[in-house]
Structure 1
Amino acid sequence: MAKNRSKAQKAADSRYEAKRAGQRSRNWAVIFYPEDLPDDWQGILSEQHFGWIEGPLHDQDTNADGSPKKPHVHTLLMFGGVKTAEQVGKLLKESFGESETGSIIGVATPQQATDRSSVVRYMAHMDNPEKAQYDPADIVGHNGADPAEILRYSATEKREMVLAMEEFIEQNNITELADFSAAIRYDRPEWHVILSTQMTVYFNAFIRSRRHKAEHGGQAPKVDFTTGEVIEKG
């Protein structure tokens, strides 16, 4: 009998641990409603000293019947250790208060975030063209969190960004890589990540080619796109 109870207890323990693991996470998606919060709600949240990412204000979203949704901000809270929904809720209640019904004032119920990239991409509706679109450049990190490190782009999205970057260079007549980097560093952080970590050589060659072409009456030089060196002037 004792042996049977031991097996039953082990099975119960296994079920409990599986359930417990599913309820605990380092990453939580939380929606904030600024009109119900103090003006400095971001600062209050940052005082908790964990990294978090803030999306742009969603003030153009609509319900299925076309009525406007209450303006809100999607966030991703990233803790150093795992937390339960109850622990996250308690922290937010202590920061922003608790209503008579027990809910967090100005904050929706925290949801476990199993895919951080999807949460951050949704902040700008990047994968939902049927919804109101928001600028990914308005997604910001707090306490050291970096949205660009979490965002993942498809091959099509990356190509579209590269084309947009080339057009930006052409339209602004940029002739130095440093000027291009400075121009996009803060206004287009997603471009800057691609430039600085993946395509420095390509854009250096692209800009050098344009500069040499202008210097030689519109005749483009031949460029080694591996090194960015001009190998034959026009």
Structure 2
Amino acid sequence: MTDDNTQTSLNDKGRYWAGLIYPDSCPDDWKATMQMSGLQILVSPVHDKDIEDPKTGKLKKPHRHVVAMWTNTTTRRNATRFFEQFNGPKTILRVESPRGMARYLVHLDNPEKVQYLPEDVIEINGADWKKIALTDEERPEVMELLELIEEWEVHGYFELLKLCELKKPKLLPVAAKATTYCREVIWSYWQFKERNSKFKDELMERQREELRRKKATEQTKQRARRKKLDQSARKSRKNRRVKNQPQKSAKKQRRKNHGHRA
């Protein structure tokens, strides 16, 4: 039994299968559906700048690449049923190289194609793009690039290339290959720095406001305590006057009586 679109057996088996979905036709809850499947899945950023015809510059229909990963091998038939939920093309591919496909999600090895950002890859149910797409050798180099950008506060891609050339020659091939990625990291670094600066300013202002509020609260409490003490003092003085009043009246009466006897 064969699939008319692929001309391959629906009973073919594999652990990794890839297909396309279109933003304008897939269900609104496609992410939730993928999460509910329990499969580890990588979904590319929207490829909306891919060129279909180099002569005319015509663009391909915006799409996403999806790589679904089963724990055990599954049939093409079963994989097809999974992808059918998203209303994409019926043709799906059995993936022989998960790393190669993961890298293709952002055209990492295709400098002639539009480059997309690795951080825009959607990772579902624990799928890890970096672990799949990057080799053990590449991962440290990517981190070194990030550290270099932060340490030297690199402002532009050309500056990064020159810095790699002078300080870290081994990073130059990586930086030269991942043009869009490096530019985005530089931009993101300065965005983060700006936000962090604003955050610190806002935090300091909140702390100052909190101190002002505490001071105002303490002053209110002090006024209340003073008022209470004043009231207590007035009441005490009043009580003493009331207590002394009968004694004064008695003395006055005795003086009066003494005058009559005289």
Q: TM-score range by the shorter chain?
A: 0.5 to 0.7
Paired AA for residue 34 in structure 2: L
Bigger fraction of residues in helix: 2
CA RMSD after TM alignment: 3.0
Larger Rg computed on CA atoms: 2
1:124-149 Cα offsets, whole Å, 9 max, x none, are 10000110110111113101111121
- Aligned equivalent of 1:146: 128
Distance change (3 Å), C-alpha of 1:117 and 1:32: same
Matched, 1:75 2:66: yes
Give 1:90's aligned residue.
81
Indicate yes or no: 2:105 matched with 1:123.
yes
Equivalent residue of 2:58, what SS?
coil
With over 3 angstroms needed to count, the CA separation of the structure-2 counterparts of 1:119 and 1:108, relative to structure 1, is farther
* Residue 167 to residue 150, structure 1, CA distance change in 2 (3 Å): same
Q: What one-letter code is carried by the residue in structure 2 that aligns with 1:131?
A: K
The corresponding residue for 1:27 is 16
- Tell me the CA shift for residue 158 of structure 1: 5.6
Q: Give, in whole Å, the separation in 2 of the partners of 1:146 and 1:154.
A: 14
Whole-Å separation in 2 of the counterparts to 1:164 and 1:145: 23
1:36-70 Cα offsets, whole Å, 9 max, x none, are: 11222121122111111111110110113421100
> SS at the partner of 1:82?
strand
Q: Give 1:112's aligned amino acid.
A: R
C-alpha contact 2:80 2:90 (8 A) present in aligned 1:
no
> How far apart in 2 are the matches of 1:44 and 1:120?
21
- 1:86-115 Cα distance to aligned partner (Å, 9 max, x none): 11112333x34xxxxxxxx22442100110
Task: Please give the TM-score of this superposition, normalised by the length of structure 1.
Answer: 0.55
Match of 1:58 in 2: 47
Name 1:163's counterpart in structure 2.
Answer: 145
The CA distance in 2 between the partners of 1:36 and 1:123, in whole Å, is 20
Could you tell me how far apart the structure 2 residues matched to 1:155 and 1:53 are? 22
Q: 1:154 to 1:126 in 2, by over 3 A?
A: farther
What TM-score comes out, normalization by structure 2 length? 0.50
Paired with 1:118 and 1:110, the residues of 2 have a C-alpha distance of: 16
Paired residue for 1:135, among 107, 111, 117? Answer: 117
Q: Which runs of 5+ in 2 are unaligned?
A: 1-7, 155-181, 186-262
> How big is the shift at 1:30?
1.4
Answering whether residue 32 of structure 2 is matched by residue 43 of structure 1, we say yes
CA contact (8 A) 1:29 1:74 kept: yes
Offset of residue 153 of structure 1: 4.3
Q: Secondary structure in 1 aligned to 2:19?
A: strand
Assess if the C-alpha contact under 8 Å between 1:140 and 1:146 holds in 2.
Answer: no
How far 1:122 moved relative to its partner?
Answer: 0.5
Higher alpha-carbon deviation: 72-81 or 152-161: 152-161
SS in 1 for 2:16: strand
Q: Percent identity?
A: 29
